[in-house]
Amino acid sequence: MQKRLPTITLVGPERQRTGRTSISKPVTKSSIRNALQDALHPKNRRMKRIHCPPAEHPDLAILLAEDNQVNQKVALLMLNKLGYKADVASNGREAVQAVQRKHYDVILMDVQMPEMDGLEATKAILEMNLDKRPRILATTAYALEGDKERCLNAGMDGYISKPVQIEELRSALEGRQILCPQETN
């Protein structure tokens, strides 16, 4: 079944507005904005809400390594909705420093960051020889063949593609492999 695109009808001042979203002449910025809002988000359409039961393990220590402030806010909101809290590092160097100060169970590591990218930061964290190393999950918009393998070969434990979907994030955080970090020799 093919979804219908919203339609906005432009009508002259002498014509009656139709039942569909329409704009009467003369056209103004606000009439265009209102028509677009009505067409794209009709008032009678309910927003889909995602039911989020409480986190299985809300005590997970999570580090979000992400340089983009909008992505940080979105990820933190998703984590909060799932019942988790996270510390934030704005680049790979900050992520490495955070791991030196505190134990983390999971690091959500953006691959492309300034100063030190996620692959370099992962390598530096693995070289620390921690008693209990965190699970490192790549979060990246990379969509090219071989990029997932590149992240895994760098020592990352998993891969979440951007834009991050809340259910994929939940699965990654609540997966058994995330909750039992490997011990290094």
Query: How many CB atoms sit inside 10 A of residue 32's CB?
Result: 13
Domain presence at residue 185: no
pLDDT digit string, tens, across residues 105-118: 999 999 999 999 99
- Evaluate whether 138 touches 112 at the Cβ level (below 8 Å): no
| pLDDT surpasses 60 at 103 | yes
Domain presence at residue 53: no
Return the closest-CA partner of residue 91 out of 62, 61, 69. 69
pLDDT digit string, tens, across residues 118-143: 999 999 999 998 999 999 999 987 65
pLDDT digit string, tens, across residues 34-83: 777 777 666 544 444 445 555 566 689 999 999 999 999 999 999 999 99
CATH number, domain with residue 113: 3.40.50.2300
Domain presence at residue 2: no
For residues 25 and 103, membership in a common domain is answered with: no
Q: What is the pTM of this model?
A: 0.66
Domain presence at residue 170: yes
Domain count, the chain: 2
For residues 167 and 82, membership in a common domain is answered with: yes
